Structure 1
Amino acid sequence: MASVCIPEIDMKDFPGQSGKLIAACEEWGCFRIINHGIPITLLSEMKSVARSLLDLPVDVKQRTADAIAGKGYSPPDMANPLLEGLGVYDMASPGAIDSFCDQLNATPQQRETILKYSHAVHELAQYIGQKLVDGMGLDVELFKEWPCQFRMNKYHYTPQTIGSTGALMHTDAGFLTIVQDDDIVSGLEAVDKKSGALVPIDPVPGTLLINIGDLGKAWSNGRFYNVKHRVQCNEGTTRMSIALFVLGPKEAKVEAPPQLVDSAHPRLFVPFNFEDYRMLRITKRSPTGGALEFLRATSAA
C-alpha cells in the first residue's frame, strides 16, 4: 500500500486555511496540523514521560484503573493484545492530572511535563473548535467545558508480531482526537472515504494528527467524516502515541446546530447524550461508528 499525504493545516494561517480545514473534515476525517504552538521539546519530553510511566510495574499502573473500560489503565486484552494504555478521563477537571500523578508516584519533573503538555493540547483543542465553527459560518461555542480524555498508548511490538494488528479497526466515539503519533514507528492506517481502501498514514515529526469521530459526524449533520482507522505492526520495536480525545458535552445533548439543518439537509440524528452513546457503542459491539444508525432521525431514514 502506498502512503497517502493527508491534508496539512497551518494553524497560524487563519482565516486563510478555513476552507481547507472544513474540506479536510468532510473528505478525509483526518489531517495533520503544523504551527500548532506546542514546542518540539515538550512533545519529546511528553513522549519520554509516557514511555517511562508505561514501563512501571503493572501493580502500580493498576492504581489508575477504572471500572469502566478505557477510563484508566487498560492492559493488553484479547481484542488488542499488543496495546497498553494509561489515561485520565476528564483531564481538565480540577485535580485530575495531579491525582493521576499521585497514583503513579510520578516524579516532580514527570508531573510538570504532563501538566504543561495536557494544558497546551487542551488549549489547542479549544482553538481548533473555534476554527471549525468559524469555518462553517456559525456563531456557537464548541468544546467549552467538554470532558477531554488524555491517553498514553504503548504498542508492544517485537519482530515476532510484525504483520499483526496493534489496534483493531475503529472510529473514535467523541468529536475529535489530537494525536501525537510515533514520529519514527509507522503503523497507522485509515479508510479512504472515496475508495474505501485502507491507506497508510505515515508519521511526520513535529506535526499533530487530528481524527474526526462519531460525534463530529452527528454534530455536523453528516458533513464530517468519522474516519475508520487501525494500527498495524510494521516494525519489531515499541510504538508510542499520546492522544487527547475531545469527547462530548457533560449534560447537553449532542445535536446539529439549526443552521446546518434545512429542507435540503434534514436532521440526520436525534439529539443524544454522549455517555449514553458511548455505552451504546459498547452494548451493540459497534466500534466503527455503526451505533449512530440507532440514532437516525425518522425523517432521515
Structure 2
Amino acid sequence: MVVIRSEKILPIHLPVVDLSTERSMVRKLIVKACEEYGFFNVINHGVPCDTIAKMEEAAFDFFAKPLAQKKQLPLYGCKNIGFNGDMGEIEYLLLSATPPSMAHFNNISNVPSNFSCSVSAYTEGVRELACEILELMAEGLGVPDRWFLSRLIREVDSDSVLRFNHYPPILNKDCKDKDKSPSHNHTKVGFGEHSDPQILTILRSNDVCGLQISLQDGVWNPVAPDPSAFCVNVGDLLQVMTNGRFVSVRHRAVTNSHKSRMSVAYFGGPPLDACIVAPSVMVTPQRPSLFKPFTWAEYKKVTYSMRLGERRIDLFRNCTQLD
C-alpha cells in the first residue's frame, strides 16, 4: 500500500468559468486557465442536475453490492490499476463511452436497467459539454476550423471512455484513541500520479476531497470539490495539438478517512487512426513544432506499456525542440 509521508500540501482554488456568460469572455477564460493551470471548473454547464443525480445514485448502488457480485462484471476492477503493477485503494468501472458501445452495455444481463439508462443519459450530456468546451478552445486559440478538436470525439468510432472511480474510506489502524484524527496520519494513494492521455477530461465528484494536482514537481495542491461544477482538465493529446500552449498537468487521488469518494471521468478520445498534430496556426518560426505527429493508437499503446508515473508525452517530442 502506498502512503504519502511528508510532502508540501498547498490548497488551490481552480479558475471558475461560467458558460452562461458572454462567449468571447468565456473562451478567453478557458484559454488562460488551460495555459496556467491545465485545470478549471465550469458552472452553468447545461447538464441537468437530475441526470447527474440519477447517475450518481445508480453508481453508488452498484459499488454497494457484494464484491463477488461486482466481480461478475468484466468491466469492474479493484485495487489493480492498468497492466503494469500499479495499485491503489480503489474500485472502478471502465466503460466505452461511444453511442454504439453504450447501446451494447444496455444489453449486459447483470447490469440493472436503471444504471444503464442513467449512465447513457449522463454520457450524452458530458459529451456535448466536452464538445462545446473544445469549440470554445479552438475559437480562443484562433483556429479557423472551430470543430478541429470537437469533431474528433463526435466521430462514431471515437475512443472515448467513461470511468467510475470509487474510493472507500480507509481508517488508519495506527489511530489508537479518539483524539487522534486519521487525517493527521499518513494519507494513502487511491490513484497514483499521472496525466490523462486523451484530449480532454470532464470530471464529476461527490462532495469529498481527494483530487490533488501538481503545478510544480514535488508540490501537490489539494483541489476542493464543487458539487455545482464539472472539473475540466487538459489531456496529453490536447497539449500536443496546441503545440505545448496548453498543459497536461499531473494529478492523483488520495483516500479520505471518513467518507467514501466517487469520481466519474469522461475521457474524450479520438478514433484510433486519428493523426495527432497541431494545426498550422499553432506553429510559428518563434515556436516550431514541439512534437512529432503520431496516431492515437500509437500513443495509446505507449500509455498501456508504461507505469502511471512515467512521462509518456516526452517520447514524442521533436528532439531539437524544448518547452
Same fold (TM over 0.5): yes
3-state SS of paired residue (2:294):
coil
1:21-170 to 2 correspondences below 5 Å:
21-58=30-67, 60-62=69-71, 64-65=73-74, 72-77=75-80, 79-89=86-96, 91-94=97-100, 96-103=101-108, 105-140=110-145, 141-144=148-151, 145=155, 146-160=158-172, 163-170=187-194
Contact 1:61 1:104 in 2 (8 A): no
What number of residue pairs does the alignment pair up? 290
1:69 corresponding residue in structure 2 = none
Write the deviation string for residues 190-229 of structure 1: whole angstroms up to 9, x where unpaired: 0125x86211101012100011111111111011111111
Deviation at 1:88, TM superposition (A): 1.4
* Structure 1 residues 64 and 262: CA distance shift in structure 2, 3 A: farther
Contact 2:192 2:309 in 1 (8 A): no
5+ unaligned residues in a row in structure 1: which ranges? Answer: 66-71
Contact 1:150 1:244 in 2 (8 A): yes
TM-score, with length taken from structure 1: 0.89
Contact 2:39 2:233 in 1 (8 A): yes
Root mean square deviation of aligned Cα = 2.1
Contact 2:213 2:250 in 1 (8 A): yes
Residue of 273, 281, 286 corresponding to 1:259: 281
2:212 corresponding residue in structure 1 = 189
1:177-216 to 2 correspondences below 5 Å:
177-183=201-207, 185-193=208-216, 197-216=219-238
Deviation at 1:2, TM superposition (A): 4.2
Deviation at 1:182, TM superposition (A): 1.9
* Structure 1 residues 289 and 28: CA distance shift in structure 2, 3 A: farther
2:317 corresponding residue in structure 1 = 296
3-state SS of paired residue (1:190):
strand
* Structure 1 residues 3 and 171: CA distance shift in structure 2, 3 A: same
Larger radius of gyration: 2
2:248 corresponding residue in structure 1 = 226
5+ unaligned residues in a row in structure 2: which ranges? Answer: 1-8, 174-181
3-state SS of paired residue (2:124):
helix
Contact 2:170 2:257 in 1 (8 A): yes
Contact 1:60 1:104 in 2 (8 A): no
The CA distance in 1 between the partners of 2:89 and 2:125, in whole Å, is 29
The CA distance in 1 between the partners of 2:130 and 2:149, in whole Å, is 10
Deviation at 1:264, TM superposition (A): 0.4
Q: Percent identity?
A: 28
The CA distance in 2 between the partners of 1:108 and 1:172, in whole Å, is 30
Deviation at 1:63, TM superposition (A): 5.1
2:264 corresponding residue in structure 1 = 242
* Structure 1 residues 296 and 81: CA distance shift in structure 2, 3 A: closer
Write the deviation string for residues 159-201 of structure 1: whole angstroms up to 9, x where unpaired: 2385111111111111110000122x101110125x8621110
Contact 1:87 1:152 in 2 (8 A): yes
Look up the equivalent residue of 2:124 and give its one-letter code: H
The CA distance in 1 between the partners of 2:11 and 2:219, in whole Å, is 12
